[in-house]
């Protein structure tokens, strides 16, 4: 999503004065103020915020959106800025658009998490541990353990997949999503505790069997396997085999299913 920036040409100081009246100009670090960008310097821009000395906007503080770095296109623009610092030597206030976008992006993200919405995320990069994505200009991560189809994750590059929030932590700048949570939510009208169904064995570990049900990988823990089958587990359970199981737990927060073969 690109920030909406409106360029206003022919903007006079009289016009600007009317904008200033809407703001409290006892300026402090961390405040949000209105201003007009009126001149481009080598490494930044001069901004009229109604103070005695023009404020300064460094070019690396323009935006959090990597694909939308503006230069001379923002001259004559009037907008809001975050007061980032004070240069005592030049007596200039240092401004940031990036910081303001960052603050508001996290506010929107927290609201979406609170509403527990399902979102379509574009996959920007793929690494060994999972997928990199972004929302509102903030980078996010989808771990392999929260992907429904990990075998074909390479095919997901530059494509969209459905996800739900798993972890939102602004202080640590951590944003983690779950594809499994989104898919499990879509299946909420189909799956239920006590349901007996058939799944496909996808992986065998010493602590249990992983079984695919409706494209969700579920765990059949070794403690939930019939004792008769435990005696001959290598023959009964083979990758690709279909087995009958019962759903005993649905964890919608983590996108997990737990299975049992007892008392079928």
> Are the C-beta atoms of 15 and 25 separated by less than 8 Å?
no
Please check the confidence at residue 127 and state whether its pLDDT lies above 50: yes
Please check the confidence at residue 9 and state whether its pLDDT lies above 70: no
Sign (positive/negative) of CA torsion 261, 152, 126, 67? negative
Please check the confidence at residue 65 and state whether its pLDDT lies above 50: yes
Q: Which CATH architecture has domain 116-184?
A: Beta Barrel (2.40)
Please check the confidence at residue 81 and state whether its pLDDT lies above 80: yes
The predicted-structure confidence for 17-48, as pLDDT tens digits, reads as follows 454 455 445 678 899 999 999 999 999 999 99
Distance CA 230, CA 237 (A): 10
3-state secondary structure 107-139: HHHHHHHHHCCCEEEECCEEECCEEEEEECCEE
Q: What is the pLDDT of residue 14?
A: 47
Distance CA 222, CA 262 (A): 11
Distance CA 209, CA 243 (A): 11
How many helices (H) does the chain have, and how many strands (E)? Answer: 5, 16
Average pLDDT, the chain: 86
Distance CA 175, CA 166 (A): 8
The predicted-structure confidence for 181-194, as pLDDT tens digits, reads as follows 999 998 988 999 99
Identify which has the larger pLDDT, 10 or 78.
78
- Could you give the maximum distance between any two Cα atoms of the chain, in Å? 87
User: Please, where in the chain does CATH 2.40.50.140 lie?
Assistant: 13-101, 116-184, 188-260
Domain 188-260 carries which CATH code?
2.40.50.140
Q: Which CATH architecture has domain 13-101?
A: Beta Barrel (2.40)
Q: What is the pLDDT of residue 188?
A: 85
The predicted-structure confidence for 228-258, as pLDDT tens digits, reads as follows 666 667 777 889 999 999 999 999 888 889 9
The mean per-residue pLDDT over the stretch 199-209 comes to 89
The predicted-structure confidence for 95-114, as pLDDT tens digits, reads as follows 999 999 999 999 999 999 99
Q: What is the pLDDT of residue 25?
A: 53
CA proximity to 177, closest of 136, 214, 217, 135: 135
């Amino acid at each position: 999503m690109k920030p909406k920036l409106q360029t206003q040409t022919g903007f006079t100081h009289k016009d600007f004065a009317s904008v200033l009246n809407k703001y409290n100009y006892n300026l402090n670090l961390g405040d949000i103020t209105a201003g007009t960008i009126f001149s481009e310097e080598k490494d930044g821009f001069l901004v009229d915020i109604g103070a005695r000395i023009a404020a300064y906007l460094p070019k690396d503080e323009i935006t959090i959106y990597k694909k939308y770095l503006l230069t001379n296109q923002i001259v004559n623009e009037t907008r809001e800025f975050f007061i980032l610092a004070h240069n005592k030597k030049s007596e200039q206030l240092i401004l940031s658009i990036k910081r303001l976008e960052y603050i508001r992006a996290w506010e929107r993200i927290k609201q979406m998490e609170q509403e527990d919405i399902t979102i379509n995320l574009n996959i920007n990069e793929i690494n060994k541990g999972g997928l990199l994505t972004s929302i509102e200009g903030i980078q996010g991560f989808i771990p392999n353990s929260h992907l429904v189809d990990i075998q074909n994750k390479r095919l997901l590059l530059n494509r969209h997949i459905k996800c739900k929030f798993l972890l939102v932590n602004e202080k640590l700048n951590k944003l983690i999503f779950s594809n499994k949570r989104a898919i499990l939510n879509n299946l909420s009208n189909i799956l239920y505790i006590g349901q007996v169904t058939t799944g496909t064995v996808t992986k065998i570990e010493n602590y249990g069997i992983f079984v695919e049900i409706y494209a969700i990988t579920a765990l059949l823990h070794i403690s939930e396997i019939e004792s008769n089958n435990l005696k001959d587990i290598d023959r009964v359970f083979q990758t690709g085999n279909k087995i009958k199981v019962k759903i005993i737990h649905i964890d919608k927060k983590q996108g997990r299913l737990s299975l049992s073969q007892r008392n079928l």
